[in-house]
């Protein structure tokens, strides 16, 4: 995909929607078309808070390929964890929709390709800052397990505070589809690496080769291996040396080392930043506000003035009678409107969370209609933080802290052990004795056997299923009585909370909330109560178990978890961030509250979540009423 760009050679930054363009994508109302590429089209939209976003709609042909969808979903999940200073974060996506799409933060600035075409080669100082910023972006992208595969000038945006690398990892999904072998080209031959052109294994060093090509293009205005037919360019990349005669001397070593044919001898990203510092004759690169030429900076100002959506309400949920749709209004950057205050109706439609049942002791009465409730956004939007929470600094990124493993105490003696809450003595014991004696006297004439049965039932379980096995509060007691009690159950004591701090739950392991000492145990698929599946999600596998992801800022508690009904069986880790909480209900009647604290750092040999866990045993709504 061409990224957040206008069509090459076009005079308008924001083009009006054409007749074949959609007007909405998954609730995002589209305001203008930004560009198009081999994988689809890019549109401008807004979040409910007014932030402009770029919606990338994948071509229908790719959506029909099952393998493409599988890889695309995998790459999107990885990309959502990339939160670098020089990347455009992925904030929303739907790989499973009729037509897959993803949304990234809109970057007001031209692509490197457009800037060079319009204004020529960039100064050496600008190229050094450009390459250093791209190297930092690749460091974060590679740290998330992604190889870009399609690093080229049109996938590098020039913002006022530095470059932004976009569309990382998406080309990998396109490699899976047969469309790439039937006339659909993904990627630009002029910026491929030799191993990529030859169909060999692609690694992080492949992106380093492309970085060298981008640097040469930015400094000279032409590709290092020339232009022409794709086959001719690919042949030169594999078998010939690049033409670097026009590359400034201060950039020659940097570009030459990046363009080495052998991936093993190319410099690391840290070495590339060091080469930029050496060429700049400074120990630290400083990025001034005017790091771009004046003509390029002027384009940023024009692109920052996002077009105002038309002053119309959102489209109705049902089609109006027989009126032909009006043509979309033309958009022009000459009528700038600050993107922070667009008219309503140009983000995903707000939704109202399901009403929770009132907590015990709260008087019932008239409640406000749903329209009066503050709507919650339909997605978590955090353009510069981690997924879903402001201020997120992903620990899995470079330099993230290593979280120590918790020294776990010993397991309980018996498997499946479930500690029971303390039983309170029944009230009204004296009155019960009087009733029992009266029953004996009343039925003495009818026979002692009947009196015996009455007394036995009086001393037995008080729940409505006393004739069955022991209730959840008396596991293993196994009653055998055949009578049916009509007495109302006594009020259960408030369950006691058990708290476990700093659990490092590794992917492929599970937790059993009923254990006296809850700790990770190997296994992810055997009717466990809570597991971290290697597919990248938390799973409530036990029969009757479920999960609920609480909203950001919603305080987790026993009452909140009992009241919530937004059940799901699994929650992908990329939807979590430090501070988010998950309610867990087990099929055995326990309630748990998971508080996410951190993710495993990038250099960790294992993938795990650090979390706190609070358990209320036998406190689930179904068990407390049985």
How does pLDDT run across 177-235, given as a tens digit for each residue?
Answer: 444 444 444 456 789 999 988 888 889 999 999 999 999 999 999 999 998 878 889 99
Name every residue whose Cβ is closer than 8 Å to that of residue 463 and which is 6 or more positions away in sequence: 471, 485, 489, 626
Asked if residues 80 and 4 have their Cβ atoms less than 8 Å apart, the reply is no
Asked if residues 159 and 107 have their Cβ atoms less than 8 Å apart, the reply is yes
pLDDT the model gives residue 348: 59
pLDDT the model gives residue 574: 81
Above 60 in pLDDT, residue 322? Answer: no
Burial class of residue 371, CB neighbours in 10 A (0-12, 13-18, 19+): exposed
Averaging pLDDT over each range in 307-311, 377-381, 414-418, which range is the top one? 307-311
Return the higher-pLDDT residue of 440 and 67. 67
pLDDT the model gives residue 61: 84
d(CA 259, CA 338): 43
pLDDT the model gives residue 225: 94
For the chain, give the mean pLDDT. 73
When pLDDT is averaged across residues 438-452 and rounded to a whole number, the result is 44
Burial class of residue 428, CB neighbours in 10 A (0-12, 13-18, 19+): exposed
- The residues annotated as belonging to the active site are 150
| Domains defined along the chain, listed by start | 24-302 (1.10.510.10), 497-624 (no CATH)
pLDDT the model gives residue 69: 84
pLDDT the model gives residue 379: 35
Percent of the chain surpassing pLDDT 90: 34
Strands (E), 88-209: 90-94, 101-105, 156-159, 162-165
Above 70 in pLDDT, residue 526? Answer: yes
Reported confidence tier of residue 597, pLDDT bands at 50, 70, 90 = very high
Reported confidence tier of residue 240, pLDDT bands at 50, 70, 90 = very high
């Amino acid at each position: 995909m061409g990224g957040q760009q206008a069509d090459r050679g076009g005079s308008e930054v924001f083009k009006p929607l054409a007749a074949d363009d959609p007007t909405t994508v998954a609730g995002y109302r589209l305001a203008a078309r930004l560009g198009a590429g081999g994988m689809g089209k890019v549109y401008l939209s807004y979040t409910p808070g007014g932030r402009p976003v770029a919606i990338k709609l994948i071509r229908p042909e790719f959506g029909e390929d099952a393998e493409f969808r599988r890889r695309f979903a995998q790459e999107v999940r990885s990309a959502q964890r990339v939160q670098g200073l020089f990347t455009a974060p992925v904030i929303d996506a739907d790989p499973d929709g009729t037509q897959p799409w993803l949304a990234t933060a809109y970057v007001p600035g031209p692509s490197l390709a457009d800037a060079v075409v319009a204004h020529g080669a960039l100064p050496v100082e600008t190229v050094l800052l450009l390459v250093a910023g791209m190297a930092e972006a690749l460091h974060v992208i590679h740290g998330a397990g992604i190889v870009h595969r399609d690093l080229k000038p049109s996938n590098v945006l020039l913002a006022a505070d530095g470059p932004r690398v976009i569309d990382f990892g998406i080309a990998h999904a396109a490699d899976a589809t047969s469309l790439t072998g039937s006339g659909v080209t993904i990627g630009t031959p002029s910026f491929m690496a030799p191993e990529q052109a030859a169909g060999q294994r692609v690694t992080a060093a492949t992106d380093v080769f492309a970085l060298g090509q981008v640097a040469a293009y930015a400094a000279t205005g032409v590709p290092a291996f020339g232009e022409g037919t794709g086959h001719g360019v690919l042949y030169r990349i594999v078998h010939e040396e690049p033409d670097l005669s026009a590359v400034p001397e201060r950039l020659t070593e940097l570009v030459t080392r990046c363009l080495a044919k052998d991936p093993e001898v190319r410099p690391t990203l840290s070495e590339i930043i060091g080469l930029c510092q050496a060429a700049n004759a400074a120990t630290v690169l400083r990025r001034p506000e005017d790091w771009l030429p004046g003509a390029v900076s002027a384009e940023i100002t024009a692109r920052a003035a996002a077009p105002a959506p038309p002053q119309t309400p959102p489209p109705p949920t049902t089609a109006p009678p027989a009126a032909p749709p009006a043509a979309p209004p033309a958009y022009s950057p000459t009528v700038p409107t600050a993107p922070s205050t667009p008219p309503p109706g140009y983000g995903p439609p707000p939704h109202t969370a399901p009403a929770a049942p009132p907590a015990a002791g709260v008087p019932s009465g008239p409640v406000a209609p749903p329209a009066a409730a503050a709507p919650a956004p339909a997605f978590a939007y955090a353009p510069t933080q981690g997924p879903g929470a402001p201020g997120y600094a992903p620990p899995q990124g470079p330099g993230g802290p290593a979280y120590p493993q918790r020294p776990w105490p010993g397991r309980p003696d018996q498997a499946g052990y479930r500690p029971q809450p303390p039983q309170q003595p029944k009230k009204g014991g004296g009155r019960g004795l009087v009733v029992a004696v009266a029953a004996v006297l009343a039925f003495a004439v009818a026979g002692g056997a009947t009196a015996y049965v009455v007394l036995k039932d009086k001393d037995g379980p008080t729940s409505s299923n006393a004739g069955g096995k022991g209730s959840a509060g008396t596991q293993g007691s196994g009653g055998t009585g055949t009578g049916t009690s009509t007495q109302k159950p006594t009020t259960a004591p408030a369950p006691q909370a058990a708290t476990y701090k700093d659990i490092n739950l590794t992917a492929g392991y599970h937790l059993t909330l009923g254990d006296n000492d809850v700790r990770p145990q190997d296994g992810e698929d055997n009717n466990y109560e809570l597991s971290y599946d290697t597919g990248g999600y938390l799973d409530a596998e036990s029969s009757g178990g479920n999960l609920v992801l609480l909203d950001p800022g919603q305080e987790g508690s026993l009452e909140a978890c009992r009241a919530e009904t937004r059940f799901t069986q699994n929650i992908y880790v990329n939807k979590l961030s430090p501070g988010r909480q998950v309610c867990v209900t087990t099929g055995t009647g326990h309630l748990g509250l998971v508080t996410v604290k951190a993710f495993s750092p990038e250099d960790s040999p294992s993938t795990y979540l650090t979390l706190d866990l609070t358990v209320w045993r036998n406190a689930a709504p179904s068990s407390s009423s049985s």
